[in-house]
Amino acid sequence: MAVLSVVIAPDPIFRQSSEAIAQVDDAVRALVGDMLDTLEHEKAVGIAAPMLGIRQRIAVVDLRENDVPNPYCFINPVVVESSKETQTFEEASLCFPGISAHIERPRAITLEYLDRDGVQQTLKAEGFFATVIQHELDYLDGRTFLDHLSKMKRDMLLKKMQKFIKFHPPHVHSEHCNH
């Protein structure tokens, strides 16, 4: 398995819809493994394939319960039901370093997807877990968490991010990395 490089905004991939996976095969399972390795390396709770420069409908999430890995892999995920009740959490992204925002989303969702064995699954998620899934699925549809904000708030945060990047340039993984 390998740690993949995270795409830093702005990048056109964040405005493109991802392609559905036609068949879950060894190449898809290997990509899922790399995504989970990257998730752990980055100490993140979720990663969608476009965040790694890959336009495929795959997202991985691991909220680690009691510091024990509990990974989920969502291939071709579709939200089939959302609650009318909403909740707000502070959201951030590896692709938008140095910024975060309070985002309102449905409190509960029902998700249909393929697991890494290609088996159709249905999952009901609520609370923070539901928010993380929705955050990652936005990337698959050419959206980011910033698209839930007003243009003025979004522009202000993007300027703040550019300043952060200037003083904290992101690490780009290469064959010379020690990890």
* Number of domain units in the chain: 1
Selecting among 19, 91, 112, 136, the annotated active-site residue is 136
Q: Which of 67, 76, 69 is nearest to 141 (CA)?
A: 76
Global pTM reads 0.93
Would you say residue 176 lies in a domain?
A: no
Asked if residue 74 is part of any domain, the answer here is: yes
Angle subtended at Cα 147 by Cα 141 and Cα 149, rounded to the nearest 5 degrees: 155
pLDDT for 172? 60
Place of tokens 């965040």: 51
Determine, yes or no, domain membership for 124: yes
Is residue 179 in some structural domain? no
Annotated active-site residue 136? The verdict is yes
Q: H or E element: which one contains 32?
A: helix 26-42
pLDDT single digits (tens) 144-155: 999 999 999 999
What residues make up the domain containing 55?
Answer: 12-167
Q: Considering the domain boundaries, does residue 160 fall inside one?
A: yes
Point out the least confidently predicted range of 99-108, 152-161, 163-172: 163-172
Domain-embedded: residue 28? yes
- Contacts of residue 59, Cβ cutoff 8 Å, sequence gap at least 6: 46, 47, 48, 49, 73, 74, 77, 133, 136, 137, 139, 140
The DSSP output letter for 56 is B
Residue 137 belongs to domain with CATH number: 3.90.45.10
Domain membership flag for residue 43 = yes
> Is 59 within a domain?
yes
Residues 15-36: pLDDT tens digits? 999 999 999 999 999 999 999 9
